[in-house]
Amino acid sequence: MDFFIKNSNFNLQKTLFCGQAFRWRDEGGGIYSGISGARRLKIRQEADGVTFLGVNERDIPYWHGYFDVGTDYSELEARFSEDETLKKACEYAHGLRVLRQEPFETLISFIISQNNNIARISGIIGRLCEAFGEPLGSEYAFPRANVLAGLSVEDLAPVRAGFRAKYILDAATKVHTGELELERLYELSAEEAKQELLRIKGVGDKVADCVLLFAYRKTELVPKDVWIKRVLAEFYPGGLPKCVGENAGIAQQYLFDYIRNNKDIIKQEDFV
DNA sequence: ACCCAGGGTAACT
DNA sequence: AGTTACCATGGG
C-alpha cells in the first residue's frame, strides 16, 4: 500500500544524504529507494510530506520511527535559530531529520567511516551487503552479526575496507557471542552505553557518539568529526550555545550539512 | 603526484 | 595525561 505522511518539515534529499545513512539511492522524480537492516523502502517527496510507496503495512511503525516522524523539527529549528550561525545552518539544511537506524548496521557503518570519506563509505558498505547480506529482491539486507562473526580478514578483502576489516570482525564477534548486547543499550544512559561500545576495537569516542545518536537517539551527544571540530573552533570555542538544549546532536547534524557544503565559511586558520 | 576523508590504536614522551 | 606515526583505500 501507499502511505502518506503529512509533514511540512521533511526534506528527503537532505535527510538521506547528509552523511548519517549510506544505503539510499536517488531514483529521480523525487523518489528514493533504500534499505535499513532487512527492510526495503521506496519513498517519494511530496510538497507537504512524504509517501511510503508499496510499503508493507506492518512495517509502517518501523519507518515512522526511522524517520523520527514524532519529533517537531520546526520547533527545533526555531529554537536553534536563536543562535546566528545555527540559524543559517537551519535555513540551509531545512527539512533535515536525524534518523533512528538499526544498532548493528549503524555500528558497523560508522566503524567503516573512520578516516574515510562518505562516497567511499557507501561503496564499502554496498560491497559488504552484496557479499554477505541476505537477498532482498534485487538488493541485499545488511549482513547479520552471526554471518560477519564467522569471517576472516581475508574473507573481507573484496569489500576493500582496508585496516577497518579487523574492527568489523571484532564488533560482529562481540555482538554475536553476546559479549555486547546491543538491545540492552537502549535502557542505559548515554554515558553507560558509550562505555559498552568503547570495548570494541576500532570504536573510539566519535564512532561511539555516532552510533548512540543515529541508532539510539541520544540527541545530547555531539560526534566530533573533522568538520564539526572546525565549526567549533571557528564559531563555538566554548561549546554549542544553550539554545540547543538536549538536542545538541541534532543541531550538530544541521551544522555538519551546512559547513560541508559551504566550506568557504571556515577560515584557513581553523583547518588543523 | 599529492592531499584528504563523519578516527582509533599503540607506542611513545 | 597529552602527542604522534601509522593504518588501507580511492575520490578530488
- Cα A210 to Cα A40, A113, A197, A206, A267: the distances in Å are 23, 10, 11, 6, 26
Looking at the whole model, is its pTM more than 0.85?
yes
Instruction: Return all residues near A155 (Cβ < 8 A) that are at least 6 apart.
Output: none
Q: Measured from the CB, is A163 under 7 Å from any atom of strand C?
A: yes
Q: Which protein residue lies nearest to nucleotide B7, measured between its Cα and the C1' atom?
A: A114
Give the CA-to-C1' distance from A204 to B11 in angstroms. Answer: 18
Give yes or no for CB of A204 within 7 Å of strand C: no
Taking the C-alpha atoms of residue A115 and residue A4, their distance in angstroms, rounded to an integer, is 39
Q: Which nucleotide is nearest to A209 (CA to C1')?
A: B6
Nucleotide nearest to A167 (CA to C1'): B8
pLDDT of residue A35: 98
CA angle A137, A143, A147 (to 5 degrees): 125
Confidence at residue A41, expressed as pLDDT on a 0 to 100 scale: 98
pLDDT at A272: 60
Question: For each of chain A's 272 residues, which pLDDT tens digit applies?
Answer: 999 999 999 999 999 999 999 999 999 999 999 999 999 999 999 999 999 999 999 999 999 999 999 999 999 999 999 999 999 999 999 999 999 999 999 999 999 999 999 999 999 999 999 999 999 999 999 999 999 999 999 999 999 999 999 999 999 999 999 999 999 999 999 999 999 999 999 999 999 999 999 999 999 999 999 999 999 999 999 999 999 999 999 999 999 999 999 999 987 777 76
A116 touches strand C (CB under 7 A): yes
List chain B nucleotides near protein: any atom < 7 Å from a Cβ.
4-10
What is the residue whose three cell numbers read 541534532? A250
A160 CB closer than 7 A to any strand C atom: yes
